[in-house]
Chains A and B, each alone.
Chain A
Amino acid sequence: MNVVAIIILILSWFFIIFGMVAIFSLKNMYARILSSTTIDTVASFLVLFALMFVSGSFIFIVRFIILIIFLLITNPISSHVNIRSAYLSGIPIKEEGESK
C-alpha cells in the first residue's frame, strides 16, 4: 500500500511545481486563472488520493472521500466565478500589447 502512495505522491509533485511555474510564466490574466486552478485541482486530488492509501482505517477514508468530492466541485466553481466577475467588470480577453 505504501509503494502505491509514494508513486502517486511523486506524481503530484510535478503538478505542484507546474502550478508554481504557470503562475509566473503566463502573461494573460485569463490563461493564468484557468491553468493554475486546473493544475491545482489535479494536484490536490492526487495528494488526497495518496493519503487515502496511507491511512488504513475506514473513518479516515470517509473523510478523505468527502474532502475530494468537495474540492472537485468547489475549485472549478470558484475559478468560474472569478473569471465571470473579471469579464463582467470590463477586462478585455485579449490585451492590447499582446502578440499571440
Chain B
Amino acid sequence: MTTIQLFLLITMMLLVLGIIASFVRMIKGPRLWDRILMLNLISAKVVLIIAIYAIYMDSLTLLDIAISYGIIGFLTMTLLSKFIMTGGREK
C-alpha cells in the first residue's frame, strides 16, 4: 500500500463517520426539515465516497456512477422539499 492510498482510506473512514453522525441526527431530529437536510448531506458524502473509491481502485466506471448518484440525490431533495411546501403543512 502506498502513502496516498493510506490517506484515501483515512478520508473514507472520516466520511463514513460523518454519515453515521448524520444518521443519528436524522433519527432524533426535532423537525421534518432537519431530516431532509440530513438526506442531502448523506447523498453528498456518498458521492464523495464513490469518487474516492474510483481513484482507489483506478476504475473509470465508478466515476460515472458518482455523477449519476449526485443527480439522483439533488432531484430527491428538491422534489421532496417542493412537495412538503405545497402539500404537507404543519397546521
Which A residues have a C-beta under 8 Å from some C-beta of B?
2, 5-6, 9-10, 12-13, 16-17, 19-20, 23-24, 29, 32-33, 36-37, 40-41, 43-44, 47-48, 51, 54-55, 59-60, 63-64, 66-67, 70-71, 74-75, 77-79, 81-86, 88-91
Contacts and interface: CB of A to CB of B under 8 A. Distances in A.
B82 to A, nearest CB: 7
B91 A13 contact: no
B77 A47 contact: no
Interface string B47-65: 1100110010000100110
B37 A19 contact: no
B70 A33 contact: no
A82 B31 contact: no
Interface in B27-44: 30-31, 33-34, 36-38, 40-41, 44
A40 B41 contact: yes
A29 B55 CA distance: 36
A20 B51 CA distance: 20
Given A37-B37, A40-B41, A90-B89, A67 B70 contact: yes
B33 A85 contact: yes
B42 to A, nearest CB: 10
Given A12-B11, A23-B21, A84-B85, A89 B90 contact: yes
Contacts of A36: 37, 41
B8 to A, nearest CB: 8
B70 A88 contact: no
